[in-house]
Structure 1
């Protein structure tokens, strides 16, 4: 088991500068990466178990059935999981791969969190002792060229994480990924599909208010870094489907006029009642969107594996 560390040192000063710049932008934003402090990660785990939050309930059985269909393509490959996080989804996938095929695989989880990589590697090493594991501590959006290229590669990008990127960033990502893929390398991409808007909006406005708590937690993280005086109770969770841009948008909406101060700022940051902080996007896709992503990477769309309602898909793409 190897963990290769390629992440640059990111000092607290850089984090503070990023947060200040986002809060001073027009419109105000906060990067969604700051959702995931320990409290935020715990809240997100609760979200995945909510009745209204459909993606995991569909993706998990879809991963099982798809893995069984792709067994022959996995033999003698480097299995690269982008943004691997915990090992829950890749475990579901690998459980359906015969042991004699797993013996020929080297699994490359790639994630910005070394802690998550180490924890996952320990679990997977125990679960699949026959399989090689080589963790890569890196940001796949910035360090695509570090992806190993000495064998056939099979990329996995699960959970519709790609939906958090802007359309421009998505196409840029696909081009970069295509550049590091060789002929006949494959990508299995999880995508949340366009569906009834009511279903989508319910998933981000759950009846127990856990998504709202998760959204507001980013203000506590900001307070911890900047010494600001944000009170989460002064903001309302707002999540809605932007039909024109085909995405859920999450915002925090000020309930009243506010003045936010910090010892790091020469002047306060003001909010008018009703003004928002844009915290996250989650794009939803059509088959046409998926085809355009494939084209951007110089890939052919080989298959789209979907549930019966076609709410979620795993798109299989092959490098031309």
Structure 2
């Protein structure tokens, strides 16, 4: 654990260990259809590639959410039933958008505000924490380098005072519908009545706009997806040829989700030395790497209602592409 007067970083040994990565890769590439968990996108290179994705003209999600928070941060804080003593954020990354809310709370008389970022990347936590502490001299940060489940388990026993929980960036869209419900119920168990969850949710829209957001013209998203194979090469001594796979992004309208795949361009076998296995691929066979679910407002309200929350308010960007939803714990 890293610790200083205003910063503590708790590291979970099990959050992204080599053993867990090995087991997940073996399980996913032995299954039919093949799959890899999207949490493994975010090694050091993957995190940098995702930051680049957020700057792409096709990837509207980051710009839209930043516009919402920049425009409506005060209204969001005004909509809370209690002024939070703690802001907890899942998948915090660089915490760039979170600063709009932190600034309002500090200005509203919470100089000792505690910020609790949770991210699987220790490097991202350390970088963002140093930047925030440099900018806000009274802010305290207690970070968790772990998966969400590990952090929630610890926070249920360690929390005190009122809390605003953040799940920004459409991260909830990476869960399927049942997983999203389980996540919200787990968050609700860590909250008290009238605490709040602010969740960013991408909205259903036309296929062309959605598929372009996940398959940009410069190929940055493709590089992000293919980096999964390069990571397996680096960490598990595999011989994937990323040039023998192509990035595929498809909007499945029936299920309301964008699906990401890595598709084998030829029949081939890949050796993974650390696992002592060879993985066969047919030409055109795909590895499923991510889903990104999209919602309409009725679906958001129902998701909240079924899992211990009430959708109190929703804010949109000017083009109504994205939504920030304030859910109150009931």
TM-score by length of 1: 0.93
Match of 2:75 in 1: 69
Match of 1:285 in 2: 295
From the superposition, tell whether residues 111 and 32 of structure 1 become closer, same or farther in structure 2 (CA, over 3 Å). Answer: same
Cα distance in structure 2, aligned partners of 1:107 and 1:259: 47
SS at match of 1:51: coil
Aligned match of 1:158 in 162, 168, 171? Answer: 168
From the superposition, tell whether residues 123 and 193 of structure 1 become closer, same or farther in structure 2 (CA, over 3 Å). Answer: same
Aligned match of 1:191 in 188, 201, 226? Answer: 201
Is 1:241–2:251 an aligned residue pair?
yes
Match of 2:159 in 1: 149
Which moves more between the two structures, 48-57 or 98-107? Answer: 98-107
Report the Cα offset of residue 76 of structure 1.
Answer: 4.7
Deviations 1:19-50 (A, max 9, x none): 11111111011121222222222221211111
Which moves more between the two structures, 13-22 or 188-197? Answer: 13-22
Q: Which runs of 5+ in 2 are unaligned?
A: 1-5
Equivalent residue runs for 1:48-197 within 5 Å: 48-72=54-78, 73=80, 75-97=83-105, 99-147=107-155, 148-197=158-207
Which moves more between the two structures, 125-134 or 208-217? Answer: 125-134
Match of 1:257 in 2: 267
SS at match of 2:318: coil
8 Å CA contact 1:67–1:97 kept in 2: the answer is no
SS at match of 2:59: coil
SS at match of 2:97: helix
Report the Cα offset of residue 232 of structure 1.
Answer: 0.8
8 Å CA contact 1:23–1:29 kept in 2: the answer is yes
Cα distance in structure 1, aligned partners of 2:223 and 2:29: 20
Match of 1:5 in 2: 10
C-alpha RMSD of the superposition:
1.9
8 Å CA contact 1:193–1:286 kept in 2: the answer is yes
Report the Cα offset of residue 144 of structure 1.
Answer: 1.3
TM-score by length of 2: 0.91
Aligned residue pairs, count:
320
Which moves more between the two structures, 1-10 or 51-60? Answer: 1-10
From the superposition, tell whether residues 264 and 104 of structure 1 become closer, same or farther in structure 2 (CA, over 3 Å). Answer: closer
Aligned match of 1:21 in 9, 27, 47? Answer: 27
Report the Cα offset of residue 271 of structure 1.
Answer: 0.8
Report the Cα offset of residue 97 of structure 1.
Answer: 4.3
Is 1:30–2:40 an aligned residue pair?
no
Q: Which runs of 5+ in 1 are unaligned?
A: none
8 Å CA contact 1:7–1:137 kept in 2: the answer is yes
Cα distance in structure 1, aligned partners of 2:84 and 2:46: 38
